[in-house]
C-alpha cells in the first residue's frame, strides 16, 4: 500500500456526493469522475460499491459510538459506577445530534452524509445498523443501574423514545423548521439536546414507580 491517494480520494468524493445528492442517484461513474480516478479503482480498492458505502458508514458510525461511550464512561466513573439518568441520556443522544445538526453552512460533509444515511437507509447501511444492538445494550445497562427500580420494559421504552426523538429530529429537521415557520431553532444544538434529554428523562422517571431522580427533584423544591 503505497500512498492511499486513490483510495482516500474515492472515499472523500463518495461521501461528498452521497451527502449532496443521496444514494439513489449517485453512480460509481459520478464518484470516480469527482475523484479524478479510474472507474475500476473502486472495485480494486473496495471490492464493490456496497463495501465502499459500508466503509464510509462504519467509519462515521464508530466515531459517534466511541464518543458516546467516552461520555458514558466518564460520567459513570465520576459517579462511582452510577451516573444520573440525564447524563446517560445526554451521552446517548448528544454526539449524534451535535454531529448532525448545527448551522447548515458549517455542517461538515460527514454530518450531511450521516443525515442522508439516516433518511435513505440502503441495504449495506441497514446491515451495519443491525449490528448496533450490542452497543445499545451498554446504554440499557447503564440506565438500569441509574434507575434500579424501573422495570426492564420501561428502560427499553425510554431508550427507544430517546433515540426516536434524536433521530427523527435530525431526519425531519427541515420539515420542523418549515412547520414552525422557523420558530424552532434547529441550529441551537444544545437546546435540542436539552429538550430531548428532558423529555426522555421524564419518560423514564415519571409514572407509578417513584424513582430516586423524581424524589430528588421533589425534595429540591
Partner DNA sequence: GATAGTTTCATACAACTGTTTGAATTGCAA
Partner DNA sequence: TTGCAATTCAAACAGTTGTATGAAACTATC
Q: Which residues bind DNA (CB under 7 A)?
A: 1-2, 5-7, 25, 27-29, 37-45, 48-50
217 binds, among DNA, a copy of itself, none (CB under 5 to 8 A by kind): none
Choice from 137, 190, 210, 215 touching a copy of itself (CB under 8 A): 137
Torsion sign, CA atoms 2, 8, 11, 14: negative
State the binding partner of 137 from DNA, a copy of itself, none, CB within 5 to 8 A by kind.
a copy of itself
Which residue lies nearer to a copy of itself by CB, 66 or 129? 129
The option from DNA, a copy of itself, none interacting with 206 (CB < 5 to 8 A, set by class) reads a copy of itself
Q: Among all chains, which residue has been given the C-alpha cell 475523484?
A: 35
Binding mask 197-216 vs a copy of itself (x if CB under 8 A, - otherwise)? -xx--xx--xx---------
Tell me the three cell numbers of residue 204.
423514564
Least distance (Å) from DNA to the CB of residue 126?
Answer: 17
**Contact of 29 with 37, CB cutoff 8 Å:** no
27 counts as binding a copy of itself under rule CB under 8 A = no
When binding is defined by CB under 8 A, the residue of 3, 24, 149, 218 that contacts a copy of itself is: 24
CA within 13 Å, CB half, 18:
29
- C-alpha distances (whole Å) from 87 to each of 19, 57, 168, 187 are 31, 26, 21, 22
Q: Is 195 in the site for a copy of itself (CB under 8 A)?
A: yes
Residue placing its CB nearer to a copy of itself in the complex, 77 or 191: 191
Residue 29, binding choice from DNA, a copy of itself, none, Cβ under 5 to 8 Å by partner class: DNA
- Distance CA(175)–CA(6), nearest Å, equals 38
Instruction: Give the CA distances from residue 79 to residues 4, 72, 83, 137, 164, in Å, rounded to whole numbers and listed in that order.
Output: 44, 11, 5, 20, 27
The three-point CA angle 115-119-124 to 5° equals 95
Q: What single-letter DSSP state applies at residue 37?
A: S
Q: Is 188 in the site for a copy of itself (CB under 8 A)?
A: no
Q: What is the CA radius of gyration of the chain?
A: 20
Cell of 85: 439518568
Q: Give the footprint of a copy of itself on this chain (CB under 8 A).
A: 24, 119-123, 129-130, 133, 136-137, 140, 152-153, 156-157, 159-161, 163-165, 167-169, 172, 175-176, 178-180, 183-184, 195-196, 198-199, 202-203, 206-207
Amino acid at each position: 500500500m503505497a500512498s492511499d491517494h486513490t483510495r482516500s480520494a474515492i472515499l472523500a468524493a463518495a461521501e461528498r456526493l452521497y451527502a449532496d445528492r443521496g444514494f439513489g442517484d449517485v453512480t460509481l461513474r459520478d464518484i470516480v469522475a469527482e475523484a479524478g480516478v479510474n472507474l475500476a479503482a473502486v472495485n480494486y480498492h473496495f471490492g464493490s460499491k456496497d463495501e465502499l458505502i459500508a466503509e464510509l458508514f462504519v467509519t462515521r458510525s464508530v466515531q459517534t459510538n466511541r464518543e458516546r461511550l467516552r461520555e458514558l464512561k466518564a460520567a459513570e466513573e465520576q459517579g462511582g459506577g452510577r451516573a444520573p439518568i440525564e447524563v446517560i441520556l445526554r451521552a446517548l443522544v448528544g454526539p449524534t445530534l451535535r454531529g448532525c445538526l448545527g448551522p447548515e453552512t458549517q455542517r461538515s460533509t460527514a454530518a450531511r452524509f450521516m443525515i442522508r444515511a439516516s433518511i435513505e437507509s440502503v441495504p449495506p447501511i441497514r446491515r451495519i445498523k443491525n449490528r448496533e444492538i450490542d452497543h445499545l445494550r451498554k446504554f440499557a445497562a447503564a440506565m438500569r443501574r441509574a434507575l434500579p427500580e424501573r422495570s426492564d420494559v420501561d428502560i427499553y421504552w425510554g431508550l427507544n423514545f430517546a433515540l426516536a426523538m434524536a433521530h427523527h429530529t435530525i431526519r425531519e429537521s427541515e420539515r420542523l423548521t418549515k412547520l414552525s415557520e422557523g420558530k424552532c431553532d434547529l441550529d441551537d444544538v444544545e437546546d435540542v439536546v436539552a429538550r430531548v434529554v428532558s423529555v426522555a428523562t421524564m419518560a423514564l422517571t415519571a409514572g407509578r414507580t417513584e424513582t430516586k431522580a423524581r424524589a430528588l427533584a421533589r425534595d429540591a423544591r
